[in-house]
A and B are shown apart, each in its own frame.
Chain A
Amino acid sequence: MKVRSQVSMVFHLDKCIGCHTCSIACKNIWTDRPGAEYMWWNNVETKPGVGFPTQWEDQEKYHGGWELEDKPKNPELKLKLQNRLQTFANLFSNPAMPTMDDYYEPWTYNYGDLFNSPLGPDQPTARPISRIDGKPIDIKAGPNWDDDLGGSNIYAVKDPLLADMNPEDRQRLFSIEQLFYFYMPRICNHCLNAACVGACPSGAIYKRAEDGVVLINQDKCRGWRMCVSACPYKKTYYNWSTGKSEKCILCYPRLETGQAPACFHSCVGRIRYLGVLLYDADQIPDALKVPDEQLVQRQREMILDPFDPKVVAAAKESGVPDGVITAAQNSPVYKYVKEWELALPLHPEYRTLPMLFYVPPLLPVLNATQENGTQRVETDLFTSLEKARVPVRYMSRTLSAGNDELVIKAYRKMIAVRIYKRHETVGDVTEEEANAALEKAGMGAEEAEAIYRLTSLPTYQERFVIPPYSREGDIEETYDPQQRKAETGFGRRQAPQRGL
């Protein structure tokens, strides 16, 4: 057993209100630079929708992620993008690069015109101008162009995940009182088997040993952009000014000083949880070679119980510091992912083992019966799941590689928690109904209470269990840790040699 620690994340989609505060926090800190205008290391998408860049989930177009060879015996995992020879042949012309139009052309407004225009009969206007060439542009797209189902008959209908639904079902999703949508905040998943790392011809991308954050070495990056096309989540971006690729760094300078990443810290819905997971690195190769439906289960098996004395001993032997083991025991992510099995990885079928997990959103249940204008929770709760507005099929295509059972299990637990708490606080549900719900979800009242507390009432320290980093101790002799905490951040010790 080779125990490694990974700073992992849970996004509770049921709590996301789609305010984009996370995106703005990230943008203001990291990507408000020339060449990075179009990058959104954190973005929030409306689902169903095409996302950013357009239709990124359609890997037949973008060729991201890994795929299992079509062999009956010992199939090997290979990049969907290209093999080594093709990497060499395509070095100077990467064929699977999204164009600027597939992201969007970043723009600002010519605000100076508002003040400097000559006096005239009409009000002056601030025209949109491109942030690439400074010329006036006709805005055609933006990073959240289909926000809140805007233009859904153009964008949402083209969601790649709807492709295998039959036309009537699809039509139903866009008819009034039947439609649904939810928000999907996305950052780099800091995968265990990152495709960007596998595709980089320069070996510039690496996974940090202490916390598993995936980073691009800006000195080693040669700008081949294979990571941009290989990442199935399209979360590496090419900076046209420096000539290097960049990606989410999980605000590691903040993590190292005990602060939550900016997008986590600023989240007003408090949907984000961060904590350490211990996993067995020896199991990675086997966990990736199972059929699609088993991927999530195998990934959960890889994640180790930090309370198990055997695991603790193995972790110590593998060099995981005691503080990190303690952090793993307090990790909210462990509870959501492994203990309660509520959180699921985004598109496990890309086989990158993403370490960002999502709790599926529980949207309004369609009610068959209404009494005196008030909605009544039905006695048989599990027919209501089939009537839920978000089709289970859609969620399982998103979060469990098509395995409906895992999504249904998570939903049953979430419904049971609601009914249980409704019985406790409102009192219009009888105890029998509540107990029946808990029993069908396969959990006890204690667990329901724990899920409720961590979902609804968590403190800052409960949401973000940041492992202790030894960096401050290491530098203490020569540098004031308090000063480092204030100064540390993204930047360059040396300016890049090439680029604009």
Chain B
Amino acid sequence: MNTRSGKFQKRIAPLLISFLMFLLFGCVQNSQHEPPQPASVQAIAEGNIENGRKLFMGYKHFENEGPPCMGCHNLGEYGILGGGALGPDLTNVSSERNDIELASVLSNNRWTKSPVMEPIYSQHPLTESEQADLIAFMKSSAGEPQADKEWLVLGISILATIGAAIVIGFVYRNRLRRIRATMVEEAEKELL
């Protein structure tokens, strides 16, 4: 036992510690960026709608590895199950907010900030061109019909739960239950 723990201390512990260090500080180092700049008006005008769609839906990674927008937001009819329901629906966001406000939210700079998004994206800021692409995408999709797919998600969840219950019920169909109670009930019935 002593030799084993000695081996652990000598060989495995340094490896483990360096791995933990990597996890802790590697990530932090990765996110030490300069304060983000909001996209300029000119850049927004030049934004790439198709690239914005890919970034929004997560087909393409953000440069600083921020989570894709669709995790929390729905937009139009994109996505089989729609977007997340945590954040507001962004289908017509461009008619409610102007470009500068949108850029301000996306960059966590200036006065319009989202209290939810700020802590997430301050560690993983969006680049200027990414912001521009996203704003362009959101503007382009204004007026599209809003698809409410929450019922679909709920329906699938319920069906999956019932299915799992049936499978588990079948697998464990022979388990013991109520031997004494069943026996007593049977005997009392026979007596009557």
Whether B187 contacts A99 by the Cβ 8 Å rule is no
| Interfacial chain B residues near A141, Cβ < 8 Å | 180
| Interfacial chain A residues near B181, Cβ < 8 Å | 101, 140
Contact of A93 among B172, B174, B186 (CB under 8 A): B172
Whether B187 contacts A61 by the Cβ 8 Å rule is no
| Interfacial chain B residues near A54, Cβ < 8 Å | 179-180, 183
Contact of B179 among A61, A95, A154 (CB under 8 A): A61
For A, the interface residue count at a CB cutoff of 8 angstroms equals 21
When A101-B181, A141-B180 are in contact, do A95 and B175 touch as well, CB less than 8 Å?
yes
Q: How far is the CB of B150 from chain A (nearest CB, A)?
A: 33
Whether A158 contacts B187 by the Cβ 8 Å rule is yes
Assess whether B4 is interfacial by the CB under 8 Å rule.
no
Assess whether A343 is interfacial by the CB under 8 Å rule.
no
Assess whether A55 is interfacial by the CB under 8 Å rule.
yes
| Interfacial chain B residues near A154, Cβ < 8 Å | 183-184, 187-188, 191
Chain B stretch 162-182: residues in CB contact (< 8 A) with chain A: 172, 174-181
Assess whether A153 is interfacial by the CB under 8 Å rule.
yes
When A50-B183, A54-B183 are in contact, do A99 and B176 touch as well, CB less than 8 Å?
yes
CB-nearest residue of chain B to A104 = B180
Contact of A95 among B172, B187, B188, B191 (CB under 8 A): B172
Whether A95 contacts B183 by the Cβ 8 Å rule is no
CB-nearest residue of chain B to A157 = B187
Whether A98 contacts B179 by the Cβ 8 Å rule is yes
| Interfacial chain B residues near A155, Cβ < 8 Å | 187
When A54-B180, A102-B180, A141-B180 are in contact, do A96 and B175 touch as well, CB less than 8 Å?
yes
| Interfacial chain B residues near A101, Cβ < 8 Å | 178-181
27 example contacts (A-B, Cβ-Cβ < 8 A) are as follows A50-B180, A50-B183, A55-B179, A55-B180, A61-B179, A93-B172, A93-B175, A95-B174, A95-B175, A95-B176, A97-B176, A98-B179, A99-B179, A101-B178, A101-B179, A101-B180, A101-B181, A102-B178, A102-B179, A102-B180, A140-B181, A154-B184, A154-B187, A155-B187, A158-B183, A158-B186, A158-B187
What number of A-B contacts does a CB cutoff of 8 Å give? Answer: 51
Chain A stretch 12-70: residues in CB contact (< 8 A) with chain B: 50, 53-55, 61-62
CB-nearest residue of chain B to A156 = B187
Q: A95-B176, A154-B187 are in contact. List 14 more A-B contacts (CB 8 A).
A: A53-B179, A54-B179, A93-B172, A96-B176, A98-B176, A99-B176, A101-B179, A101-B180, A102-B179, A140-B181, A153-B187, A154-B184, A154-B188, A157-B187
Mostly helix, strand, loop or mixed at chain A's interface? loop
* Chain A 85-104 per-residue mask, 1 if CB under 8 angstroms from chain B, else 0: 00000000101111101100
| Interfacial chain B residues near A153, Cβ < 8 Å | 187, 191
For B, the interface residue count at a CB cutoff of 8 angstroms equals 15
Q: How far is the CB of A151 from chain B (nearest CB, A)?
A: 9
| Interfacial chain A residues near B172, Cβ < 8 Å | 93, 95
| Interfacial chain A residues near B188, Cβ < 8 Å | 154
| Interfacial chain B residues near A93, Cβ < 8 Å | 172, 175
Assembly CA distance A101 to B191 (angstroms): 22
Whether B183 contacts A99 by the Cβ 8 Å rule is no
Assembly CA distance A341 to B191 (angstroms): 42
Assembly CA distance A54 to B182 (angstroms): 11
Chain A stretch 350-394: residues in CB contact (< 8 A) with chain B: none
Whether A99 contacts B191 by the Cβ 8 Å rule is no
| Interfacial chain B residues near A61, Cβ < 8 Å | 176, 179
Assembly CA distance A140 to B187 (angstroms): 15
CB-nearest residue of chain B to A54 = B180
When A154-B184, A158-B183 are in contact, do A102 and B176 touch as well, CB less than 8 Å?
yes
CB-nearest residue of chain A to B171 = A89
Q: How far is the CB of B161 from chain A (nearest CB, A)?
A: 17
CB-nearest residue of chain B to A98 = B176
Which 6 A-B pairs rank lowest in CB-CB distance, beginning with the nearest? Answer: A95-B175, A54-B180, A154-B187, A102-B179, A102-B180, A158-B183
Assembly CA distance A62 to B183 (angstroms): 14
Assembly CA distance A55 to B182 (angstroms): 11
| Interfacial chain B residues near A50, Cβ < 8 Å | 180, 183
* Chain A 127-162 per-residue mask, 1 if CB under 8 angstroms from chain B, else 0: 000000000000011000000000001110110000
CB-nearest residue of chain A to B187 = A154
Whether B184 contacts A62 by the Cβ 8 Å rule is no
| Interfacial chain A residues near B180, Cβ < 8 Å | 50, 53-55, 101-102, 141
Q: How far is the CB of A143 from chain B (nearest CB, A)?
A: 12
* Chain B 26-42 per-residue mask, 1 if CB under 8 angstroms from chain A, else 0: 00000000000000000
Assembly CA distance A97 to B179 (angstroms): 11
Assembly CA distance A266 to B64 (angstroms): 78
* Chain A 420-435 per-residue mask, 1 if CB under 8 angstroms from chain B, else 0: 0000000000000000
| Interfacial chain A residues near B183, Cβ < 8 Å | 50, 54-55, 154, 158
Whether B184 contacts A99 by the Cβ 8 Å rule is no
Q: How far is the CB of A52 from chain B (nearest CB, A)?
A: 10
Whether B178 contacts A99 by the Cβ 8 Å rule is yes
Assembly CA distance A157 to B186 (angstroms): 11
| Interfacial chain A residues near B187, Cβ < 8 Å | 153-155, 157-158
Q: How far is the CB of B187 from chain A (nearest CB, A)?
A: 4
Assembly CA distance A62 to B180 (angstroms): 12
CB-nearest residue of chain A to B185 = A154
| Interfacial chain B residues near A55, Cβ < 8 Å | 179-180, 183
Assembly CA distance A97 to B181 (angstroms): 15
Assembly CA distance A140 to B177 (angstroms): 16
Assembly CA distance A95 to B186 (angstroms): 23
Q: How far is the CB of B106 from chain A (nearest CB, A)?
A: 46
| Interfacial chain B residues near A99, Cβ < 8 Å | 176-179
| Interfacial chain B residues near A62, Cβ < 8 Å | 176
| Interfacial chain A residues near B184, Cβ < 8 Å | 154
Assembly CA distance A102 to B172 (angstroms): 19
Most A C-beta atoms less than 10 A away, residue of B172, B184, B186: B184
| Interfacial chain B residues near A96, Cβ < 8 Å | 175-176
Assembly CA distance A97 to B174 (angstroms): 11
Assembly CA distance A124 to B191 (angstroms): 36
